[in-house]
Structure formats: C-alpha cells, structure tokens
C-alpha cells in the first residue's frame, strides 16, 4: 500500500507523530547537458550572464527551494532544514553535475528536499542560459543516498 493513501484509498499526509526524531540525511543529483554556445560561455568553472553568476545563483535558488518543498509537494511535511549544501561542477565536456545534501533531526526524511534542490538549481541554470540556447537538457534527477529512517539507501560509492 502506498503510504499517502488511507485504508479507503484516499490521499493523506503520513502521520509521523509517533516517530522519534533522528538525524536524517539525503543526497540527490541532477545532470545537465549544455550545448556548444552555453558550454563555450563557461570560464573557470562558472558562467557569468547579464543576470549574474549562473552557478552561484543556482545554488541560492536550490537552497531556497529545498526550504519550500512542503509548499510545492502537497503531502511533504514542513520541516526546518538543519543544513542544505549544493555543489555544481562542470564535469565531462558539455556536462554539469549538481549535487545537494540535506540534513535535519526530525521524524521524517529529507529526500524530497534534496531532490527539489537539485531540480530547481538545474531549472535556474536553464533559465539563466536559455538566451544562449534552448537545447539545454536536464537529465537523471535521482536520489543517491538517504539515511536515518526506516530504510537507508546508498547508490554512490563512499
């Protein structure tokens, strides 16, 4: 049974009132493919546009989005994040990797916050670079790791 459905198959928020707060962490990743005009604008690991430094702005947008996840996803519990860090780097030619790590001591996990952070960071890069090309692709948004709840997940090497 899906956790967001009650016994009558009606949507609901999961009741976490009986759970004990524990340290919850999550890591998510998004990958982007940048076409030539955007890739050529990359200098010293950053793209500077008329709107400002693209990667730095995307980091700020991603952290802000992570803090607002419960406003965007109807059944996410509102939580005050203890930490959210985002790293963006140009990797292989034409590729950018965005990773977010979220942490909180709470009764529920922070994987949706990490996924929201990388997605909004990627959308911010798209928005700030679309004047150069609309052929930017956002790929592989995925949860890499989560810990502190009923089921830990680790998809990345330590």
Residue 157 is predicted with a pLDDT of 54
127 is catalytic: yes
Q: Which of 36, 44, 71, 127 is catalytic?
A: 127
pLDDT digits (tens, 9 = 90+) for 113-148: 999 999 999 999 999 999 999 999 999 999 999 999
Q: Which range is least confidently modeled, 38-47, 49-58, 77-86, 121-130?
A: 38-47
Task: Report the pLDDT value the prediction gives residue 137, as an integer from 0 to 100.
Answer: 98
Q: Which fold has domain 22-149?
A: Alpha-Beta Plaits (3.30.70)
46 contacts 38 by C-beta, under 8 angstroms: no
Which of 38, 53, 30, 31 has its CA nearest to residue 118? 30
The structure's pTM equals 0.89
Confidence of residue 158 (pLDDT cuts 50, 70, 90): very low
């Amino acid at each position: 049974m899906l956790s967001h459905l009650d016994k009558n198959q009606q949507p609901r928020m999961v009741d976490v009132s009986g759970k004990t707060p524990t340290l919850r962490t999550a890591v998510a990743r998004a990958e982007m493919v940048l076409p030539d005009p955007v890739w050529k604008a990359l200098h010293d690991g950053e793209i500077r546009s008329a709107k400002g430094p693209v990667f730095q702005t995307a980091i700020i947008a991603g952290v802000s989005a992570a803090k607002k996840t419960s406003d965007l996803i109807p059944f996410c519990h509102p939580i005050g994040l203890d930490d959210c860090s985002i790293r963006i780097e140009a990797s292989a030619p034409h590729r950018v990797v965005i990773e977010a790590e979220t942490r909180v001591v709470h009764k529920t996990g922070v994987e949706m916050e990490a996924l929201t952070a990388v997605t909004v960071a990627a959308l911010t890069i798209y928005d700030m670079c679309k004047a150069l090309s609309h052929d930017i692709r956002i790929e592989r948004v995925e949860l890499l790791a989560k810990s502190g709840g009923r089921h830990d997940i680790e998809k990345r090497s330590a």
